[in-house]
Amino acid sequence: MTDAHGPNAVDRLTRRPLSGLRILDLSRLLPGPFASMILADLGAAVDKVEDPSGGDYLRFMPPMVGDASKGTPMNAAFHALNRGKRSLVLDLKKREGQEALLRLAPRYDVLIESFRPGVMERLGLGFDRLRAASPGLVYCAITGFGQDGPAAQRAGHDIGYIARAGVLGLTGPESGPPQVPGVQMADMAGGALFAVSGILAALHARTTTGAGRFVDVSMCEGSMVLGAFGLMAALAGDGSHAQGAGALNGGIAPFGTYRTKDGRAMALGALEPKFWVAFCTGVGIEPGMDALMPGPHQETWKARLRDVFASKTFAEWVAFAEKVDCCLEPVLMPEEVPSDPQHVAREMFVAHDASGVTLPVPRTPIASEAATGPAPTQGRDTRAVLHDAGWSESEIDALIATGAAR
């Protein structure tokens, strides 16, 4: 991190604490780009390395956002995850591309990749070779199952990682197969958030040792520890938290979602007796304490609450939740989130230029602002990145002529 001086130095470092940090991101799709987006929002400079064919193909998936007369339309999530980053194209299957990456490495503090284990070694770009070129480099590999073990080479996606981690085994409903979560838990939390934690820990260690290190992130393992409450109950021999049967995964009426009279939904989380009593008093039913314990009697309680919630509209329940402190919140649709008063007050969304279209994007919650600048088109900054790293124009031209850069 670069030093800052002057009367506003503390404020600048507070707002952009990773200013001066440089990230080389070879990953694509969600986990790696989300991790480097967090680092970018905190002040790091991020350069994407993309292959000359598809590159980061999230860019081309629907829904596409952008005004073709003002820029290149790209995927909505791609715009958010890659804001403020630069893109260079290198063909790492070519010797010249490999040599270019080795020449770039000493300029960066962190490298992120999400290839299957062994791919970088086969390209001659494994951690040992990169560490020889840049001893202080923090190398973060995000994979489905980690660098070793019998599943290391298995193909997979988020649903498979959370299945193997036991997370889906804790997920209801009891009467059928587990429900697929609405967010990518393994990619975004199990992978990206642990990648950021590991990277920051390695950078802190480097301040003492001067040496970089290898950060091995398994999305499956990261997901596993997210299920600590139910997982540990099961490992302790308590089966009450099995699929959809526990207090926190759909097994009790006071902790669940319910349809309103007009077809919307509310989320009730009245786990503690005082909140359950407040809710029941507010709606005019007897607050039986047995409702807070799992068991067969829960079907009666759930049916009772379904009738209660079906008696009022969504707006009426929102008004009720404002008056009665009982852990009751509206289930917002995604398009409603940016205008929610809480998120507006916290300035959670920023206006982002998405190829000529203004798109609201959420900032990283622990960052006071979001990285600025549009997401890059593939290879938009190849010349700039190489020039910044000391390549002459003739060297850049020669590299491009080999087909190893574009």
What residue type is assigned to position 297 of the chain? H
Which sign does the torsion angle of CA 295, 299, 300, 304 carry? Answer: positive
What residue type is assigned to position 100 of the chain? A
CA distances from 320 to 12, 187, 317, 324, 339 (A): 42, 36, 5, 6, 20
14 confidence band (pLDDT: 50, 70, 90): low
Torsion, Cα of 28, 29, 35, 37 (10° steps): 90
pLDDT in tens, 258-276: 999 999 999 999 999 999 9
Angle between helices 31-41 and 194-209 (to 10 degrees): 60
Per-residue pLDDT at 1: 28
Among residues 218, 149, 215, which one has the least CA distance to residue 190? 218
pLDDT in tens, 31-73: 999 999 999 999 999 999 999 999 999 999 999 999 999 999 9
Among residues 193, 151, 153, which one has the least CA distance to residue 37? 193
Angle between helices 273-283 and 314-323 (to 10 degrees): 130
Q: How many residues are there in the chain?
A: 406
pLDDT in tens, 318-371: 999 999 999 999 999 999 999 999 999 999 999 999 999 999 999 999 998 899
Domains assigned to the chain: 22-227+349-402 (3.40.50.10540), 255-333 (3.30.1540.10)
Contact assessment for residue 71 and residue 65, using Cβ atoms and an 8 Å cutoff: no
Average pLDDT over residues 362-384: 95
Contact assessment for residue 321 and residue 298, using Cβ atoms and an 8 Å cutoff: no
Per-residue pLDDT at 106: 98
Provide the pairing of β-strand 74-75 with 64-65: antiparallel
Torsion, Cα of 21, 24, 29, 35 (10° steps): -20
Residues designated catalytic: 157, 187
173: preceding bond cis by omega (within 30 degrees): yes
| Two structure tokens written together for 227 | 């299920």
Q: Is 109 exposed, middle or buried (0-12, 13-18, 19+ CB in 10 A)?
A: buried
Across the chain, mean pLDDT equals: 95
Q: What is the pTM of this model?
A: 0.93
Question: 20 in helix, strand or coil?
Answer: coil
Percent of the chain at pLDDT above 70?
Answer: 97
Strand partners for 25 = 48, 112
What residue type is assigned to position 198 of the chain? G
> How far, in Å, CA of 166 to CA of 221, rounded?
10
